[in-house]
Structure 1
Amino acid sequence: GGDWTSLEESSLPSDLVGNDLYGKTLGIIGLGNIGRRVARIGNGFNMRLLAYDPYVTDETAKKIGVKLLSLHKMLEEADYVTIHTILSKETRGLISARELALMKPTAYLINTSRGPIVNQSALINALANGRISGVALDVFEEEPIGKENPILRMGNVITTPHYAGNSREALEATSMRVSQETVRMIKGKTPLSLVNRQQLEELGFLPKK
Protein backbone atom coordinates (compact mmCIF):
# COMPACT_ATOMS: atom_id res chain seq x y z
CA GLY A 1 0.00 0.00 0.00
CA GLY A 2 0.86 3.64 0.05
CA ASP A 3 1.87 6.04 -2.67
CA TRP A 4 4.88 5.34 -4.84
CA THR A 5 6.77 7.81 -6.97
CA SER A 6 9.33 7.31 -9.68
CA LEU A 7 12.87 8.63 -9.31
CA GLU A 8 12.02 11.45 -11.72
CA GLU A 9 9.05 12.45 -9.55
CA SER A 10 10.86 12.25 -6.24
CA SER A 11 12.40 15.21 -4.45
CA LEU A 12 15.89 13.69 -4.65
CA PRO A 13 18.05 16.08 -6.72
CA SER A 14 19.34 14.41 -9.87
CA ASP A 15 22.86 15.68 -9.22
CA LEU A 16 22.95 13.55 -6.05
CA VAL A 17 22.34 10.35 -8.00
CA GLY A 18 25.63 8.69 -8.85
CA ASN A 19 26.85 5.61 -10.70
CA ASP A 20 28.11 2.30 -9.36
CA LEU A 21 31.76 1.44 -9.92
CA TYR A 22 31.04 -2.27 -9.61
CA GLY A 23 31.57 -4.04 -12.90
CA LYS A 24 32.55 -0.89 -14.80
CA THR A 25 35.70 -0.50 -16.90
CA LEU A 26 38.56 1.53 -15.44
CA GLY A 27 41.26 2.88 -17.75
CA ILE A 28 44.55 3.77 -16.05
CA ILE A 29 47.13 5.97 -17.77
CA GLY A 30 50.48 5.20 -16.15
CA LEU A 31 51.26 2.07 -14.15
CA GLY A 32 53.79 3.47 -11.71
CA ASN A 33 53.39 3.13 -7.94
CA ILE A 34 50.20 5.20 -7.83
CA GLY A 35 48.68 3.65 -10.95
CA ARG A 36 49.22 0.18 -9.48
CA ARG A 37 47.59 1.16 -6.22
CA VAL A 38 44.60 2.50 -8.15
CA ALA A 39 44.42 -0.84 -9.98
CA ARG A 40 44.17 -2.63 -6.63
CA ILE A 41 41.34 -0.33 -5.57
CA GLY A 42 39.53 -0.93 -8.86
CA ASN A 43 39.94 -4.65 -8.40
CA GLY A 44 38.15 -4.34 -5.06
CA PHE A 45 35.12 -3.02 -6.95
CA ASN A 46 35.33 -5.91 -9.43
CA MET A 47 36.11 -3.44 -12.19
CA ARG A 48 37.52 -4.45 -15.55
CA LEU A 49 41.03 -2.99 -15.50
CA LEU A 50 42.67 -1.55 -18.62
CA ALA A 51 45.87 0.46 -18.80
CA TYR A 52 48.11 2.43 -21.12
CA ASP A 53 51.81 2.58 -20.28
CA PRO A 54 54.42 2.18 -23.06
CA TYR A 55 57.09 1.29 -20.49
CA VAL A 56 55.29 -1.66 -18.89
CA THR A 57 55.41 -5.18 -20.35
CA ASP A 58 52.40 -7.42 -20.83
CA GLU A 59 53.89 -9.81 -18.28
CA THR A 60 54.10 -7.09 -15.62
CA ALA A 61 50.59 -5.89 -16.42
CA LYS A 62 49.27 -9.43 -16.05
CA LYS A 63 50.80 -9.67 -12.56
CA ILE A 64 49.07 -6.41 -11.62
CA GLY A 65 45.81 -7.73 -13.04
CA VAL A 66 45.35 -5.21 -15.84
CA LYS A 67 45.17 -5.49 -19.62
CA LEU A 68 47.49 -3.24 -21.62
CA LEU A 69 46.00 -1.45 -24.61
CA SER A 70 46.96 1.43 -26.85
CA LEU A 71 45.89 4.81 -25.49
CA HIS A 72 43.14 5.29 -28.06
CA LYS A 73 41.76 1.76 -27.67
CA MET A 74 41.67 2.14 -23.90
CA LEU A 75 39.86 5.49 -24.14
CA GLU A 76 37.21 3.93 -26.36
CA GLU A 77 36.43 1.18 -23.85
CA ALA A 78 36.77 2.82 -20.43
CA ASP A 79 33.90 4.13 -18.30
CA TYR A 80 36.39 5.98 -16.10
CA VAL A 81 39.83 7.20 -17.20
CA THR A 82 42.31 8.14 -14.49
CA ILE A 83 45.72 9.73 -15.12
CA HIS A 84 48.81 8.76 -13.10
CA THR A 85 51.85 9.70 -15.15
CA ILE A 86 54.60 12.29 -14.93
CA LEU A 87 54.57 15.50 -16.95
CA SER A 88 57.13 15.35 -19.75
CA LYS A 89 57.48 16.31 -23.41
CA GLU A 90 55.87 12.96 -24.16
CA THR A 91 52.85 13.42 -21.90
CA ARG A 92 52.16 17.16 -22.23
CA GLY A 93 48.82 17.45 -24.03
CA LEU A 94 48.47 13.65 -24.06
CA ILE A 95 44.71 14.07 -23.65
CA SER A 96 43.42 16.59 -26.19
CA ALA A 97 40.44 17.00 -28.51
CA ARG A 98 41.14 13.82 -30.47
CA GLU A 99 41.46 11.68 -27.35
CA LEU A 100 38.38 13.18 -25.67
CA ALA A 101 36.35 12.50 -28.82
CA LEU A 102 37.22 8.81 -28.51
CA MET A 103 35.77 8.50 -25.01
CA LYS A 104 32.23 7.32 -24.35
CA PRO A 105 29.73 10.16 -23.84
CA THR A 106 28.95 8.47 -20.51
CA ALA A 107 32.61 8.36 -19.45
CA TYR A 108 34.39 10.38 -16.77
CA LEU A 109 37.97 11.67 -16.75
CA ILE A 110 40.01 11.99 -13.56
CA ASN A 111 43.32 13.86 -13.37
CA THR A 112 45.26 13.84 -10.10
CA SER A 113 48.63 13.89 -11.84
CA ARG A 114 49.70 17.11 -13.60
CA GLY A 115 47.41 19.66 -15.22
CA PRO A 116 49.13 20.17 -18.61
CA ILE A 117 48.72 16.47 -19.44
CA VAL A 118 45.15 17.43 -20.39
CA ASN A 119 44.54 20.23 -22.89
CA GLN A 120 42.22 22.50 -20.94
CA SER A 121 40.52 24.26 -23.86
CA ALA A 122 39.75 20.91 -25.49
CA LEU A 123 38.43 19.63 -22.16
CA ILE A 124 36.14 22.63 -21.65
CA ASN A 125 34.78 22.18 -25.16
CA ALA A 126 34.15 18.46 -24.61
CA LEU A 127 32.35 19.13 -21.33
CA ALA A 128 30.24 21.95 -22.76
CA ASN A 129 29.14 19.83 -25.70
CA GLY A 130 28.42 16.66 -23.71
CA ARG A 131 31.27 14.81 -25.37
CA ILE A 132 32.04 13.23 -21.98
CA SER A 133 29.89 13.12 -18.84
CA GLY A 134 32.25 14.84 -16.46
CA VAL A 135 35.70 15.35 -15.05
CA ALA A 136 37.36 15.41 -11.63
CA LEU A 137 40.44 17.63 -11.44
CA ASP A 138 43.02 17.78 -8.67
CA VAL A 139 45.42 19.72 -10.92
CA PHE A 140 45.08 22.39 -13.61
CA GLU A 141 46.85 23.52 -16.76
CA GLU A 142 47.76 26.80 -15.06
CA GLU A 143 48.26 26.95 -11.30
CA PRO A 144 47.06 28.64 -9.27
CA ILE A 145 43.90 28.50 -11.34
CA GLY A 146 42.27 31.89 -11.95
CA LYS A 147 38.93 32.62 -10.30
CA GLU A 148 37.44 33.48 -13.70
CA ASN A 149 38.41 30.18 -15.30
CA PRO A 150 35.20 28.84 -16.91
CA ILE A 151 35.94 25.29 -15.83
CA LEU A 152 35.20 26.28 -12.22
CA ARG A 153 31.63 27.18 -13.13
CA MET A 154 30.74 24.03 -15.05
CA GLY A 155 28.18 21.71 -13.49
CA ASN A 156 29.91 18.52 -14.63
CA VAL A 157 33.26 19.36 -13.04
CA ILE A 158 34.57 18.42 -9.59
CA THR A 159 37.72 20.21 -8.38
CA THR A 160 39.92 19.43 -5.38
CA PRO A 161 42.95 21.32 -3.96
CA HIS A 162 45.75 18.74 -4.55
CA TYR A 163 46.21 18.45 -0.80
CA ALA A 164 45.45 14.80 -0.05
CA GLY A 165 48.92 14.15 1.33
CA ASN A 166 48.57 16.64 4.18
CA SER A 167 47.98 14.12 6.94
CA ARG A 168 50.24 13.62 9.97
CA GLU A 169 51.13 10.15 8.77
CA ALA A 170 51.97 11.31 5.24
CA LEU A 171 54.13 14.19 6.49
CA GLU A 172 55.99 11.86 8.86
CA ALA A 173 56.52 9.35 6.05
CA THR A 174 57.88 12.10 3.80
CA SER A 175 60.34 13.24 6.48
CA MET A 176 61.47 9.67 7.04
CA ARG A 177 61.95 9.07 3.31
CA VAL A 178 64.03 12.24 2.91
CA SER A 179 66.23 11.16 5.84
CA GLN A 180 66.69 7.68 4.40
CA GLU A 181 67.59 9.06 0.98
CA THR A 182 70.12 11.43 2.56
CA VAL A 183 71.78 8.52 4.37
CA ARG A 184 71.95 6.57 1.11
CA MET A 185 73.69 9.50 -0.60
CA ILE A 186 76.20 9.86 2.25
CA LYS A 187 77.01 6.15 1.92
CA GLY A 188 77.54 6.59 -1.82
CA LYS A 189 74.40 4.71 -2.79
CA THR A 190 71.91 5.72 -5.48
CA PRO A 191 68.73 7.35 -4.10
CA LEU A 192 65.64 5.19 -4.49
CA SER A 193 63.58 8.18 -5.67
CA LEU A 194 66.11 9.51 -8.16
CA VAL A 195 64.57 11.62 -10.94
CA ASN A 196 67.66 13.18 -12.55
CA ARG A 197 69.93 10.20 -13.14
CA GLN A 198 71.11 11.52 -16.52
CA GLN A 199 72.38 14.76 -14.98
CA LEU A 200 74.21 12.91 -12.20
CA GLU A 201 75.77 10.55 -14.74
CA GLU A 202 77.01 13.51 -16.79
CA LEU A 203 78.55 15.05 -13.66
CA GLY A 204 80.25 11.76 -12.84
CA PHE A 205 78.37 11.07 -9.61
CA LEU A 206 76.87 7.86 -11.03
CA PRO A 207 78.12 5.29 -13.55
CA LYS A 208 76.34 5.47 -16.90
CA LYS A 209 73.95 2.62 -17.62
Structure 2
Amino acid sequence: MQQRYDDRPDIHLTTLPVTSAPEDHAATLQQAHAYQISSAKDETPARWFADERLLAHMPDLLCVSTSGSGYDTVDVEACTRAGVLVMNQAGANARSVAEHTLGLMLGLNKRLAESDHRLRRGGDFSREDLMGRELYSKTLGLVGIGHIGRRVAELARAFGMHVIAHDPLLDAETIGQRGARPVTLPVLLGEADIVSLHCPRQADTLDLFDAQAFAAMKPGALFITTARGGIHSEAALTAALQSGHLAGAGIDVWDVEPPPQEHPLLQMSNVMATYHTAGVTHEARRNIATWAADQLLATLDGQVPPRLLNPEAWPRYAERFQRLLGA
Protein backbone atom coordinates (compact mmCIF):
# COMPACT_ATOMS: atom_id res chain seq x y z
CA MET A 1 0.00 0.00 0.00
CA GLN A 2 2.80 2.43 0.89
CA GLN A 3 4.17 2.25 -2.64
CA ARG A 4 0.80 3.40 -4.01
CA TYR A 5 1.08 6.60 -1.98
CA ASP A 6 4.81 7.02 -2.65
CA ASP A 7 3.97 7.20 -6.35
CA ARG A 8 1.64 10.13 -5.67
CA PRO A 9 3.62 13.16 -4.39
CA ASP A 10 0.36 15.14 -4.30
CA ILE A 11 -0.98 12.83 -1.56
CA HIS A 12 0.32 13.16 2.00
CA LEU A 13 -0.16 10.07 4.17
CA THR A 14 -0.17 10.34 7.97
CA THR A 15 -0.52 7.39 10.33
CA LEU A 16 -2.08 8.22 13.70
CA PRO A 17 -1.25 6.07 16.75
CA VAL A 18 -4.37 4.24 17.90
CA THR A 19 -3.31 4.80 21.52
CA SER A 20 -3.52 8.58 21.08
CA ALA A 21 -6.63 10.78 20.99
CA PRO A 22 -8.12 12.93 18.21
CA GLU A 23 -7.34 16.04 20.25
CA ASP A 24 -3.63 15.17 19.97
CA HIS A 25 -3.77 15.51 16.17
CA ALA A 26 -6.06 18.49 15.70
CA ALA A 27 -4.05 20.05 12.84
CA THR A 28 -3.83 16.77 10.89
CA LEU A 29 -7.52 16.00 11.27
CA GLN A 30 -8.54 19.54 10.31
CA GLN A 31 -6.81 19.13 6.94
CA ALA A 32 -7.65 15.49 6.19
CA HIS A 33 -9.65 14.70 3.05
CA ALA A 34 -9.65 10.90 3.54
CA TYR A 35 -9.72 8.65 6.59
CA GLN A 36 -8.75 4.97 6.63
CA ILE A 37 -10.04 3.01 9.64
CA SER A 38 -9.95 -0.57 10.90
CA SER A 39 -13.15 -2.59 10.65
CA ALA A 40 -12.48 -4.27 14.01
CA LYS A 41 -14.74 -2.59 16.57
CA ASP A 42 -13.13 -4.27 19.59
CA GLU A 43 -9.59 -3.39 18.50
CA THR A 44 -10.33 0.24 17.66
CA PRO A 45 -10.95 2.70 20.52
CA ALA A 46 -14.38 4.29 20.19
CA ARG A 47 -12.79 7.75 20.11
CA TRP A 48 -11.44 6.88 16.64
CA PHE A 49 -14.77 5.62 15.24
CA ALA A 50 -15.94 7.62 12.23
CA ASP A 51 -18.96 9.12 13.95
CA GLU A 52 -20.31 12.61 14.60
CA ARG A 53 -17.75 13.28 17.32
CA LEU A 54 -14.79 12.54 15.08
CA LEU A 55 -16.36 14.25 12.06
CA ALA A 56 -16.50 17.43 14.13
CA HIS A 57 -12.69 17.37 14.14
CA MET A 58 -12.53 16.84 10.35
CA PRO A 59 -14.39 19.63 8.51
CA ASP A 60 -12.68 18.87 5.16
CA LEU A 61 -13.21 15.11 5.25
CA LEU A 62 -14.53 13.72 1.96
CA CYS A 63 -14.35 9.96 2.38
CA VAL A 64 -13.94 7.16 4.92
CA SER A 65 -12.54 3.76 3.99
CA THR A 66 -12.63 0.62 6.16
CA SER A 67 -9.99 -2.09 6.18
CA GLY A 68 -12.39 -4.91 5.39
CA SER A 69 -15.94 -5.69 4.32
CA GLY A 70 -17.30 -4.70 7.73
CA TYR A 71 -17.96 -1.13 8.81
CA ASP A 72 -18.93 -1.46 12.48
CA THR A 73 -16.52 1.39 13.26
CA VAL A 74 -18.33 3.84 10.97
CA ASP A 75 -21.60 5.69 11.53
CA VAL A 76 -22.73 5.60 7.91
CA GLU A 77 -25.77 7.81 8.53
CA ALA A 78 -23.66 10.51 10.19
CA CYS A 79 -21.22 10.42 7.28
CA THR A 80 -24.08 10.68 4.79
CA ARG A 81 -25.48 13.73 6.58
CA ALA A 82 -22.03 15.31 6.43
CA GLY A 83 -21.58 14.57 2.71
CA VAL A 84 -18.81 12.06 3.38
CA LEU A 85 -18.55 8.92 1.24
CA VAL A 86 -18.08 5.58 3.00
CA MET A 87 -16.43 2.65 1.23
CA ASN A 88 -15.30 -0.82 2.25
CA GLN A 89 -13.12 -3.54 0.73
CA ALA A 90 -15.83 -6.17 0.28
CA GLY A 91 -14.47 -9.20 -1.51
CA ALA A 92 -10.79 -8.64 -0.74
CA ASN A 93 -10.74 -11.43 1.84
CA ALA A 94 -13.48 -13.56 0.29
CA ARG A 95 -11.30 -16.53 -0.61
CA SER A 96 -9.67 -16.59 2.83
CA VAL A 97 -13.01 -16.48 4.65
CA ALA A 98 -14.53 -19.09 2.35
CA GLU A 99 -11.64 -21.49 2.99
CA HIS A 100 -11.95 -20.90 6.74
CA THR A 101 -15.67 -21.65 6.52
CA LEU A 102 -14.95 -24.98 4.85
CA GLY A 103 -12.28 -25.62 7.48
CA LEU A 104 -14.85 -25.19 10.25
CA MET A 105 -17.27 -27.51 8.44
CA LEU A 106 -14.60 -30.17 8.02
CA GLY A 107 -13.34 -29.72 11.56
CA LEU A 108 -16.78 -30.18 13.07
CA ASN A 109 -17.92 -32.99 10.80
CA LYS A 110 -14.67 -34.92 11.24
CA ARG A 111 -14.37 -33.90 14.93
CA LEU A 112 -10.78 -32.81 14.39
CA ALA A 113 -10.49 -30.53 17.43
CA GLU A 114 -12.06 -33.15 19.69
CA SER A 115 -9.63 -35.79 18.46
CA ASP A 116 -6.67 -33.46 18.94
CA HIS A 117 -7.73 -32.58 22.50
CA ARG A 118 -8.40 -36.20 23.48
CA LEU A 119 -5.01 -37.33 22.20
CA ARG A 120 -3.22 -34.56 24.08
CA ARG A 121 -5.07 -35.29 27.33
CA GLY A 122 -4.54 -39.03 27.09
CA GLY A 123 -6.82 -41.67 28.58
CA ASP A 124 -8.66 -44.68 27.22
CA PHE A 125 -10.91 -44.15 24.21
CA SER A 126 -11.49 -45.82 20.89
CA ARG A 127 -11.45 -44.38 17.40
CA GLU A 128 -15.18 -45.03 17.21
CA ASP A 129 -15.68 -42.64 20.13
CA LEU A 130 -14.63 -39.88 17.73
CA MET A 131 -16.46 -41.10 14.65
CA GLY A 132 -17.24 -38.25 12.26
CA ARG A 133 -19.25 -37.70 9.11
CA GLU A 134 -18.55 -36.85 5.48
CA LEU A 135 -19.54 -33.58 3.86
CA TYR A 136 -20.48 -35.47 0.69
CA SER A 137 -24.22 -35.35 -0.12
CA LYS A 138 -24.99 -33.07 2.84
CA THR A 139 -27.14 -29.99 2.28
CA LEU A 140 -25.45 -26.67 2.97
CA GLY A 141 -27.66 -23.66 3.61
CA LEU A 142 -26.05 -20.27 2.97
CA VAL A 143 -27.64 -17.20 4.55
CA GLY A 144 -26.19 -14.64 2.16
CA ILE A 145 -24.45 -15.47 -1.11
CA GLY A 146 -22.38 -12.39 -1.85
CA HIS A 147 -18.60 -12.26 -2.35
CA ILE A 148 -17.90 -14.89 0.33
CA GLY A 149 -21.04 -16.99 0.09
CA ARG A 150 -20.61 -17.65 -3.63
CA ARG A 151 -17.05 -18.91 -3.02
CA VAL A 152 -18.24 -21.12 -0.18
CA ALA A 153 -20.84 -22.53 -2.59
CA GLU A 154 -18.12 -23.27 -5.13
CA LEU A 155 -15.97 -25.10 -2.56
CA ALA A 156 -18.96 -26.98 -1.14
CA ARG A 157 -19.97 -28.25 -4.56
CA ALA A 158 -16.42 -29.57 -5.02
CA PHE A 159 -17.07 -31.72 -1.93
CA GLY A 160 -20.29 -33.02 -3.46
CA MET A 161 -22.61 -31.01 -1.25
CA HIS A 162 -26.06 -29.74 -2.21
CA VAL A 163 -26.16 -25.96 -1.80
CA ILE A 164 -29.24 -23.88 -1.04
CA ALA A 165 -29.23 -20.17 -0.26
CA HIS A 166 -31.38 -17.34 1.05
CA ASP A 167 -30.41 -13.77 0.22
CA PRO A 168 -33.10 -11.04 0.22
CA LEU A 169 -30.76 -8.73 -1.70
CA LEU A 170 -30.62 -11.02 -4.75
CA ASP A 171 -33.21 -12.45 -7.11
CA ALA A 172 -33.65 -16.17 -7.68
CA GLU A 173 -31.84 -16.13 -11.02
CA THR A 174 -28.73 -14.52 -9.54
CA ILE A 175 -28.66 -16.96 -6.63
CA GLY A 176 -28.87 -19.81 -9.12
CA GLN A 177 -26.03 -18.36 -11.17
CA ARG A 178 -23.94 -18.27 -8.00
CA GLY A 179 -24.31 -21.99 -7.52
CA ALA A 180 -27.21 -22.44 -5.12
CA ARG A 181 -30.89 -23.27 -5.19
CA PRO A 182 -32.84 -20.23 -3.94
CA VAL A 183 -35.10 -20.87 -0.96
CA THR A 184 -36.85 -18.93 1.78
CA LEU A 185 -35.19 -18.74 5.18
CA PRO A 186 -37.72 -21.12 6.81
CA VAL A 187 -37.10 -23.71 4.08
CA LEU A 188 -33.35 -23.32 4.47
CA LEU A 189 -33.51 -23.85 8.22
CA GLY A 190 -35.62 -26.97 7.81
CA GLU A 191 -33.55 -28.58 5.05
CA ALA A 192 -29.91 -27.72 5.74
CA ASP A 193 -27.55 -30.13 7.47
CA ILE A 194 -25.17 -27.21 7.88
CA VAL A 195 -26.22 -23.55 8.08
CA SER A 196 -23.51 -20.98 7.34
CA LEU A 197 -23.93 -17.21 7.81
CA HIS A 198 -22.53 -14.78 5.22
CA CYS A 199 -24.80 -11.77 5.62
CA PRO A 200 -23.83 -8.26 6.76
CA ARG A 201 -24.38 -6.99 10.29
CA GLN A 202 -27.05 -4.30 10.04
CA ALA A 203 -30.33 -3.33 11.69
CA ASP A 204 -32.41 -6.06 10.00
CA THR A 205 -29.90 -8.87 10.68
CA LEU A 206 -29.13 -8.23 14.36
CA ASP A 207 -30.29 -11.28 16.33
CA LEU A 208 -31.51 -12.83 13.08
CA PHE A 209 -30.57 -16.18 14.58
CA ASP A 210 -32.39 -16.23 17.89
CA ALA A 211 -33.93 -19.10 19.86
CA GLN A 212 -36.77 -19.41 17.34
CA ALA A 213 -34.38 -19.66 14.38
CA PHE A 214 -32.20 -22.28 16.05
CA ALA A 215 -35.30 -24.27 17.01
CA ALA A 216 -36.37 -24.24 13.36
CA MET A 217 -33.08 -25.79 12.24
CA LYS A 218 -32.94 -29.47 11.39
CA PRO A 219 -32.24 -31.63 14.49
CA GLY A 220 -28.56 -32.57 14.53
CA ALA A 221 -27.57 -29.76 12.17
CA LEU A 222 -24.36 -27.74 12.42
CA PHE A 223 -24.21 -23.94 12.69
CA ILE A 224 -21.29 -21.99 11.18
CA THR A 225 -20.66 -18.27 11.25
CA THR A 226 -17.83 -16.24 9.80
CA ALA A 227 -20.06 -13.19 9.36
CA ARG A 228 -20.27 -10.78 12.32
CA GLY A 229 -21.01 -11.02 16.01
CA GLY A 230 -24.54 -9.98 16.93
CA ILE A 231 -26.23 -11.67 13.97
CA HIS A 232 -26.70 -14.74 16.13
CA SER A 233 -27.63 -14.84 19.80
CA GLU A 234 -24.82 -16.50 21.72
CA ALA A 235 -27.19 -17.38 24.57
CA ALA A 236 -29.69 -18.99 22.19
CA LEU A 237 -26.94 -20.94 20.42
CA THR A 238 -25.62 -22.16 23.77
CA ALA A 239 -29.09 -23.41 24.70
CA ALA A 240 -29.59 -25.15 21.34
CA LEU A 241 -26.29 -26.99 21.76
CA GLN A 242 -26.85 -27.87 25.41
CA SER A 243 -30.27 -29.33 24.60
CA GLY A 244 -28.77 -31.53 21.89
CA HIS A 245 -30.96 -29.99 19.19
CA LEU A 246 -27.84 -28.86 17.31
CA ALA A 247 -24.87 -31.19 16.95
CA GLY A 248 -22.17 -28.54 16.86
CA ALA A 249 -21.09 -25.02 15.93
CA GLY A 250 -18.11 -23.38 14.27
CA ILE A 251 -17.78 -19.77 15.44
CA ASP A 252 -15.30 -17.18 14.18
CA VAL A 253 -17.14 -14.02 15.29
CA TRP A 254 -18.32 -12.96 18.73
CA ASP A 255 -20.26 -10.28 20.57
CA VAL A 256 -17.00 -9.36 22.33
CA GLU A 257 -13.73 -10.24 20.63
CA PRO A 258 -11.92 -12.13 21.91
CA PRO A 259 -14.64 -13.81 23.99
CA PRO A 260 -13.90 -14.27 27.70
CA GLN A 261 -12.20 -17.57 28.49
CA GLU A 262 -15.12 -18.61 30.69
CA HIS A 263 -17.63 -18.16 27.84
CA PRO A 264 -20.01 -21.17 27.90
CA LEU A 265 -19.51 -21.87 24.20
CA LEU A 266 -15.78 -22.28 24.79
CA GLN A 267 -16.50 -25.02 27.33
CA MET A 268 -18.20 -27.28 24.77
CA SER A 269 -16.27 -29.99 22.94
CA ASN A 270 -18.63 -29.75 19.95
CA VAL A 271 -17.81 -26.08 19.36
CA MET A 272 -14.88 -25.16 17.13
CA ALA A 273 -13.88 -21.61 18.00
CA THR A 274 -11.61 -19.10 16.29
CA TYR A 275 -10.89 -15.45 17.01
CA HIS A 276 -12.24 -13.57 13.95
CA THR A 277 -9.31 -14.95 11.96
CA ALA A 278 -11.20 -16.22 8.90
CA GLY A 279 -9.98 -13.29 6.82
CA VAL A 280 -6.64 -12.89 8.55
CA THR A 281 -4.23 -14.30 5.98
CA HIS A 282 -1.21 -12.80 4.28
CA GLU A 283 -3.05 -12.84 0.96
CA ALA A 284 -6.21 -11.20 2.29
CA ARG A 285 -4.33 -8.46 4.16
CA ARG A 286 -2.32 -7.68 1.03
CA ASN A 287 -5.52 -7.48 -1.02
CA ILE A 288 -7.24 -5.22 1.50
CA ALA A 289 -4.31 -2.81 1.74
CA THR A 290 -3.94 -2.62 -2.04
CA TRP A 291 -7.67 -2.28 -2.73
CA ALA A 292 -8.06 0.39 -0.04
CA ALA A 293 -5.18 2.49 -1.40
CA ASP A 294 -6.37 2.21 -5.00
CA GLN A 295 -9.95 3.04 -4.07
CA LEU A 296 -9.00 6.05 -1.93
CA LEU A 297 -6.70 7.46 -4.59
CA ALA A 298 -9.34 7.01 -7.28
CA THR A 299 -11.93 8.74 -5.08
CA LEU A 300 -9.62 11.68 -4.43
CA ASP A 301 -9.11 11.88 -8.20
CA GLY A 302 -12.86 12.43 -8.58
CA GLN A 303 -13.94 8.91 -9.52
CA VAL A 304 -16.88 7.00 -8.06
CA PRO A 305 -15.51 4.36 -5.65
CA PRO A 306 -16.49 0.84 -6.75
CA ARG A 307 -17.46 -0.27 -3.23
CA LEU A 308 -19.45 2.77 -2.15
CA LEU A 309 -21.78 2.11 0.80
CA ASN A 310 -23.78 5.37 0.84
CA PRO A 311 -24.46 6.57 -2.71
CA GLU A 312 -27.16 8.86 -1.30
CA ALA A 313 -24.32 11.05 0.03
CA TRP A 314 -23.09 11.78 -3.50
CA PRO A 315 -24.90 15.09 -4.23
CA ARG A 316 -23.60 16.82 -1.11
CA TYR A 317 -20.22 15.12 -1.45
CA ALA A 318 -19.86 16.35 -5.04
CA GLU A 319 -20.55 19.93 -3.97
CA ARG A 320 -18.03 19.70 -1.14
CA PHE A 321 -15.45 18.01 -3.40
CA GLN A 322 -15.67 20.85 -5.89
CA ARG A 323 -15.43 23.47 -3.16
CA LEU A 324 -12.50 21.85 -1.35
CA LEU A 325 -10.46 20.51 -4.25
CA GLY A 326 -11.63 22.75 -7.05
CA ALA A 327 -12.61 19.89 -9.35
TM range (shorter): 0.7 to 0.9
Deviations 1:133-167 (A, max 9, x none): 11000011233311221111012211012223333
Alignment partner, residue 3 of structure 1: none
* CA distance in structure 1 between the partners assigned to 2:318 and 2:129 by the alignment: 59
| Paired letter, 1:195 | L
Deviations 1:86-125 (A, max 9, x none): 1011000111111111112221000111111001111111
1:205 deviates by 3.1
Alignment of 1:145-164 (within 5 A): 145-164=259-278
| Paired letter, 1:201 | W
* CA distance in structure 2 between the partners assigned to 1:169 and 1:26 by the alignment: 26
What is the root-mean-square deviation of aligned Cα atoms in Å? 1.9
1:13 deviates by 5.6
1:49 aligns with 2:202: no
Cα–Cα, structure 1 residues 162 and 13, in superposed 2: closer, same or farther, change >3 Å?
Answer: farther
Instruction: With the length of structure 2 as denominator, give the TM-score of the two structures.
Output: 0.57
Q: Highest Rg: 1 or 2?
A: 2
Which of residues 297, 300, 317 is equivalent to 1:204?
317
* CA distance in structure 1 between the partners assigned to 2:237 and 2:282 by the alignment: 35
Structure with the bigger percentage of helix:
2
Alignment of 1:1-209 (within 5 A): 11-12=126-127, 14-15=129-130, 17-198=131-312, 200-201=313-314, 203-205=316-318
| Paired letter, 1:204 | Y
Contact 2:164 2:182 survives alignment (8 Å): yes
The alignment partner of 1:165 has SS state of coil
| Paired letter, 1:126 | A
Deviations 1:34-75 (A, max 9, x none): 011111011111211100111111111121221111111101
1:173 deviates by 1.6
| Paired letter, 1:173 | N
* CA distance in structure 2 between the partners assigned to 1:125 and 1:168 by the alignment: 36
Tell me, which stretches of 5 or more residues in structure 2 are unaligned?
A: 1-124, 320-327
Contact 2:252 2:278 survives alignment (8 Å): no
Aligned length: 196
* CA distance in structure 2 between the partners assigned to 1:75 and 1:39 by the alignment: 17
